[in-house]
Structure 1
Amino acid sequence: MPVALARRLLGGVRLAYLPVLVTYFAYGASAITGVALVFFEKDALRLTPAEVAGILFWVGLPWSMKMVAGVASDVYPIFGSRRVAYLLVGALCSLAGYAALVSVVETKGPFLLAMLLVAVGFMVQDVVADALSVEVAETEEELGQVQALGRMALLVGSISVGYLGGWLAGRIGARGVFAVAMVLPLLVAVGSAFVRPGARPRPAPADGGPLGGGRARLVMGVGLSYAALGVLLETFQAPFAQEIVLVVSGVLIGLLLSRVGVSRAVIVAAFVIFLFRAVPGVGQGYSFWAIDRLGFDQQFLGILAQVSSVLSLAGLLVFRKTIVKRPVSFTLFWVVLAGSVLYLPSIGLFYGANEWLGISPRTFALIDTTISAPLGQLTMVPMLVLIAKTAPPGAEATMFAIMASLMNLALSASELFTRYLNTAFAVTQQDYSDLGRLMITVGAIGLLPLLALPLLRRHERGEINREEFEAKRRDLQR
């Protein structure tokens, strides 16, 4: 019975999935530094919530450069290796970043550089895992299975370190936790030994292929130029540097999408999900307030992280088949609506709703986390499957990377808007008086993506009608 239940929940699992699942697991387990980073930013570096959002903007940018690593992995093998070598390069970058956090980071600048190294490393690993997830799948059904299992592996990684990260932060301090995290890139390096040639044929890109006719050089050139622009603007502290990078990035990624070629349905879905992911958050001000005013310590924040991870995995297990089969618009509608409703308890906690109900702040926060945790992971699985179905053989990493670049650019946009709001409401460690109004504003803005869903629904219905027409035409030709 337990075996049958596991098979029904997880589906079939093959050894070929191992490098993919290990890489996603390691990225999920990188959450072990989550609580440590909050206290490191607050107490060691003395950063404001707006400054943290500004740093997270730059740290998120490598993820919008996945196109560079994707093209490199597809077209430019290292010593004949298209996947393993890039996994090892990514692992080395993350290892160097964690080592810097352990030893030399004392101020905002070195902290940003170390975090960028960690982000670049995990980004490269993620690109290769995305490509391998397509290569190991022999059918479209199995492709969806690998994507769902990958999300689960990421969440299992988070679960395994949720409480542990908070407990370690309280016992050995932030730098000690960063030292423990150095094990993760080593785990990816070990997993790379199990990479095998994919079941799908992967011919070298021809001139007419998605990476032929100079397109690979175009993607590499655009990506590297974009990286250089960001470095120069930040180095010379140019005014509106983040805004310039964001706009230029969007234009360049749009150009790459038009040149490489994706279906109209994918573009529309990507646009809507971009809006969803670009919604600003409250920022670290809420965490700082909970630590200073409510007395939340490292261990309790670890408990919240643990509960969130477990329930996110439970939500994905329960709704996996439903969200793979349902249209993207269906999933987004319910996630946005439910997310907005379930955000209300956080606002209530700031205004003392727990006192009206006779509940302690910790119990109230635990209940809030319990009911809202599963939502975040549910939006990405249908998008990943949609992208995977359009990925031509030999360009899997590139198609995933360019679309994921757009998604991650949205997260950088979210951090930029978060910085705007924290600056406007002047939330600092010395003054949390306007934090409540900031949270209400963020909650209202979170409903705006619903306005774009009718556009997505129209295109989804058009795609369904075309598929039905093609099916009937094939039946008549038999």
Structure 2
Amino acid sequence: MVEEEEEVLNPSGDIAEEKEPEKGCCGALCTPIQWFRMLCVELHWSFVLGVVVVYGVSQGLGGALYRVGTEYYMKDVQKVQPSEAQFYQGITNIPWLVKPLWGLLTDVLPIFGYRRRPYFIIAGSVGVMAMLVLSFHAKLHIALALLALTTGSGGVAVADVTIDACVAQNSINHPSLAADIQSLCALSSSIGALLGFSVSGIFVHLLGPKGVYGLLAIPFGLVFLIGTLIKEPHSPNFAYTQVNQKLVDAGKSMWTTLKCPDVWRPCVYMYFSLALSLNILDGLFFWYTDSKDGPHFSQENVGYIFSIGSVGSLLGAVLYQSVLKDHPFRDLLFWTQLIYGVSGTLDLMLVLRLNLKFGIPDYFFVVIDESVSQMTGRLKWMPLLVLSSKLCPPGIEGTFFALLMSIDNVGLVSATWGGGILLHVLKVTRTQFDNLWLAILIRNLLRLAPLCLLFLVPRADPNSSILPTEIANTKEDIETLETKNVELVSLVNGADDR
């Protein structure tokens, strides 16, 4: 009898082996569901819902529609040059450069007793209004169009920094789940982008770019809804007279943390790894749709290309979660940066039309190119996100994570404007693409330059602490835990008690 009980309890016994085939093919299907349910239990469903809506619906699906719609809006409605489109893109990204401001507001300035809900509501409201203005106005002047696009970008940035505070807090409270949280963010974003790009070309063809902007009011409306549903403690007796002091204290804490070599060194690497990867996507897009020198892809084809390319991003997120999430930061960033730089050779082959010499059609080759680019970009980006969450001091997680993300966004804007300058210098216009290959070659070489700065990245793995003890155990941490300043802290504690 004892032997029979041992046989049942032993996971490696015969009975377990007999049950294994019963799971069959559904085992692989159940694993992601169980993983998702585990996150809902450990981190609370409201946090998971917020991640899915902000990263998946707003930034993933909405970002895909926005990208394709804006490309055609600038090309066909505003009729600008590729270098000008790059410059305007940098302007619309300005709200992302001041993310620490949004982070400070969400950390120290509650509205009607709530710290997170009002900011979701504000972000959704301004986004809906901006998209409706772009959609219903016959033809906005470029300055007013940029103002509306920047306002919509600001709405996405405020929602992003608000959910980022949750991500940073939960990464600290559950260090073993830090990589899983980033995987949830990446998977939500990738799946949303896949769906968005799949229908973006169709919507642009049927509704036009301005009609797509009207559809983008829906994701902003869902962000507004999250602001009404997300559960967080209510603090009606907040002392607003202490806001100035808290801002000063938060600023001092941020400066103290930023001066630490273990923090500023990775920040320098993150900036240059993004800034040196020059963005020349508008030059490539104009070439894609050109009827003379380019493949002359239709609107539907452009959407399908980006949608299939987003599968590469999804595969990158799955690959990181399944295989790479526990590898040391420095080793992983070396290989991902190297592969990212080499993958740009596919763009060069396409523009030089070498694919046709090998008998590979443009559409098939572009799909491969976009998929590889998205996958390598995701693999390069995810360890940087996990590293950023590890650098956040307790008590001001939202603010400091926003600061780190703003550094990254400065790098992205630098890459966008740098790419625009490169296209302008090489005289790549709406109809002239003779030097586009040279722009791609220069971009590829610069992508390899960050390898020389890898010594700035710690050798630590994602499961270990990076911050020094004196910063990690701050007074703000104790005060935050006692007053439960950050959303969902009480819910997380309840999950931990169980």
- TM bucket, shorter chain: 0.7 to 0.9
CA offset digits 1:91-140 (Å, max 9, x no partner): 11211221121123533212211110111000000011011224456421
Deviation at 1:10, TM superposition (A): 5.0
Paired residue secondary structure (1:94)? helix
Partner of 1:12: 38
What letter is aligned with 1:6?
Answer: P
Change (3 A) 1:80 1:270: same
Change (3 A) 1:213 1:180: closer
Moved over 3 A (4+): 7-11, 134-138, 209-213, 259-263, 321-324, 389-394, 457-460, 463-467
Residue 92 of structure 2 corresponds to residue 51 of structure 1: no
Unaligned runs of 5+ in 1: 220-254, 468-478
Partner of 1:148: 183
Partner of 1:79: 112
Decide whether the 8 Å contact of 1:19 with 1:192 is kept in 2: no
CA offset digits 1:267-310 (Å, max 9, x no partner): 21121111111121223111101101211111111111111212
Structure label with greater radius of gyration: 2
**C-alpha distance in structure 1 between counterparts of 2:196 and 2:118, whole Å:** 28
Partner of 2:65: 32
Pairwise mapping of residues 181-196 of structure 1 onto structure 2 (< 5 A)?
181-196=216-231
Deviation at 1:3, TM superposition (A): 4.9
Unaligned runs of 5+ in 2: 1-26, 469-498
Change (3 A) 1:180 1:340: same
Q: Which TM-score applies when normalising by structure 1?
A: 0.81
Change (3 A) 1:161 1:466: closer
Partner of 2:437: 436
Change (3 A) 1:414 1:188: same
Considering only aligned residues, what root-mean-square deviation do their CA atoms show, in Å? Answer: 3.0
Partner of 1:229: none
Paired residue secondary structure (2:289)? helix
Deviation at 1:8, TM superposition (A): 6.8
Change (3 A) 1:417 1:256: farther
Partner of 1:311: 312
Decide whether the 8 Å contact of 1:97 with 1:114 is kept in 2: yes
Partner of 1:331: 332
Out of 290-299 and 313-322, give the one that drifted further. Answer: 313-322
**C-alpha distance in structure 2 between counterparts of 1:392 and 1:359, whole Å:** 51
Deviation at 1:322, TM superposition (A): 4.2
Identity rate of aligned residues, in percent?
24
Decide whether the 8 Å contact of 1:99 with 1:179 is kept in 2: yes
Pairwise mapping of residues 293-442 of structure 1 onto structure 2 (< 5 A)?
293-442=294-443
Deviation at 1:261, TM superposition (A): 4.4
What letter is aligned with 1:307?
Answer: I
**C-alpha distance in structure 2 between counterparts of 1:379 and 1:263, whole Å:** 24
Partner of 2:98: 65
Change (3 A) 1:72 1:168: same
Change (3 A) 1:294 1:390: closer
Pairwise mapping of residues 76-475 of structure 1 onto structure 2 (< 5 A)?
76-104=109-137, 105-136=139-170, 138-197=173-232, 212=246, 214-216=248-250, 257-259=254-256, 261=258, 263-279=260-276, 280-292=278-290, 293-456=294-457
What is the total number of aligned residue pairs between the two structures? 425
Paired residue secondary structure (1:106)? coil
Deviation at 1:372, TM superposition (A): 2.9
Partner of 1:223: none
**C-alpha distance in structure 1 between counterparts of 2:91 and 2:83, whole Å:** 13
CA offset digits 1:157-185 (Å, max 9, x no partner): 11121110111111111111111111001
Change (3 A) 1:266 1:438: same
Q: Which TM-score applies when normalising by structure 2?
A: 0.78
Decide whether the 8 Å contact of 2:390 with 2:466 is kept in 1: no
**C-alpha distance in structure 1 between counterparts of 2:341 and 2:262, whole Å:** 27
Decide whether the 8 Å contact of 2:333 with 2:383 is kept in 1: no
Decide whether the 8 Å contact of 2:121 with 2:228 is kept in 1: no
Deviation at 1:204, TM superposition (A): 9.7
Decide whether the 8 Å contact of 1:265 with 1:459 is kept in 2: no
What letter is aligned with 2:61?
Answer: A
What letter is aligned with 2:148?
Answer: A
**C-alpha distance in structure 1 between counterparts of 2:245 and 2:298, whole Å:** 51
Decide whether the 8 Å contact of 1:99 with 1:178 is kept in 2: yes
